[in-house]
């Protein structure tokens, strides 16, 4: 445990000096402040923040994480010459990157809202769900980036795969889903749509937030199905549990691959 904490501490010190992390935090800070300045409707602000966050967070997490691990290859090789377990090193590197990204997001979203507490009615429940969803997106796509970097030695191939997975989950996946719904519209697809949406962490996060906001116009097909089959509370629990599974799978597979990798 002491070794893990030391690795995390060193990685935090290294990451916090990165100008990209500062830019990432400032982006959400300015976005949140700007939306709150121009709109008094908190629901619309949260929906706008959700739409932007579910695009930017996965992109930054997966690309930055991939580049980060490739750039630290010499450091990893050096650390492996020390009496340190590989799983400890992997977790230390992972947490050392994921924690600053999470803190930057929470700080960027949360600080402007503190200034507007007196001026608008803030739905703290929906805000908490937005922040939780953003944290899960960071954890999931950072884990995915580490898995990609561990499996692929080629830097360009790894970066290309990272962008591909982001593009697939953020845009292509929904297009395939809509095509399947259109092709098999004569059949009952409610259960299929629930299972299919659980295979996309970005869709899960969107459903998780929208069910809390209870914005029926933005539910979409999968959101409406979740609400119909599970009601709001059970749907939120199921989507949260699915996000937790998504957080663990890339991390555990990546840790297993890292433990067996020949450096």
* 201-213 and 42-71 helices, crossing angle to 10°: 160
Specify the pLDDT at position 192.
Answer: 74
Specify the pLDDT at position 86.
Answer: 87
**pLDDT one-digit tens code per residue, 126-183:** 788 889 999 999 999 999 999 999 998 888 999 999 999 999 998 888 788 778 777 7
- Report the C-alpha gap between 126 and 132 in whole angstroms: 10
Residues whose CB is less than 8 angstroms from the CB of residue 44 and which lie 6 or more positions away in sequence, other chains included: none
Specify the pLDDT at position 159.
Answer: 92
Q: How far apart are the first and last CA of the chain?
A: 24
Highest-confidence range of 113-122, 207-216, 220-229, by mean pLDDT? 207-216
User: Which of 128-162 are b and which e, b meaning 16 or more Cβ less than 10 Å from the residue's Cβ?
Assistant: ebbbbbbbbbbbbbbbbbbbbbbebeeeeebbebb
The mean pLDDT of 62-89, rounded to a whole number, is 87
**Which region among 20-34, 94-108, 109-123, 130-144 has the lowest average model confidence (pLDDT)?**
109-123
- Report the C-alpha gap between 219 and 77 in whole angstroms: 48
Do the beta carbons of residue 170 and residue 203 sit within 8 Å? no
- pLDDT band, residue 244 (cuts 50/70/90): very high
């Amino acid at each position: 445990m002491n070794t893990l904490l030391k690795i995390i501490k060193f990685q935090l010190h290294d990451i916090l000096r990165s100008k990209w992390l500062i830019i990432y935090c400032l982006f959400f800070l300015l976005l949140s402040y700007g939306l709150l300045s121009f709109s008094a409707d908190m629901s619309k602000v949260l929906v706008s923040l959700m739409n932007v966050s579910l695009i930017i967070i996965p992109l930054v997490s997966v690309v930055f994480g991939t580049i980060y691990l490739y750039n630290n290859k010499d450091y990893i090789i050096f650390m492996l010459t020390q009496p340190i377990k590989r799983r400890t090193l992997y977790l230390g590197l992972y947490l050392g990157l994921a924690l600053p990204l999470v803190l930057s997001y929470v700080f960027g979203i949360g600080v402007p809202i503190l200034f507007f507490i007196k001026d608008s009615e803030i739905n703290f429940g929906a805000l908490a769900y937005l922040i939780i969803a953003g944290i899960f997106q960071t954890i999931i796509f950072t884990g995915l980036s580490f898995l990609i970097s561990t499996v692929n030695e080629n830097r360009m191939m790894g970066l290309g795969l990272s962008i591909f997975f982001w593009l697939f989950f953020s845009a292509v996946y929904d297009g395939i889903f809509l095509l399947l719904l259109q092709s098999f519209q004569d059949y009952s697809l409610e259960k299929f749509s629930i299972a299919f949406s659980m295979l996309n962490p970005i869709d899960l996060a969107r459903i998780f937030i929208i069910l809390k906001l209870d914005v029926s116009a933005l539910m979409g097909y999968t959101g409406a199905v979740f609400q119909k089959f599970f009601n709001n509370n059970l749907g939120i629990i199921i989507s949260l549990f699915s996000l937790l599974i998504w957080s663990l799978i890339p991390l555990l597979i990546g840790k297993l691959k890292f433990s067996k990798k020949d450096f």
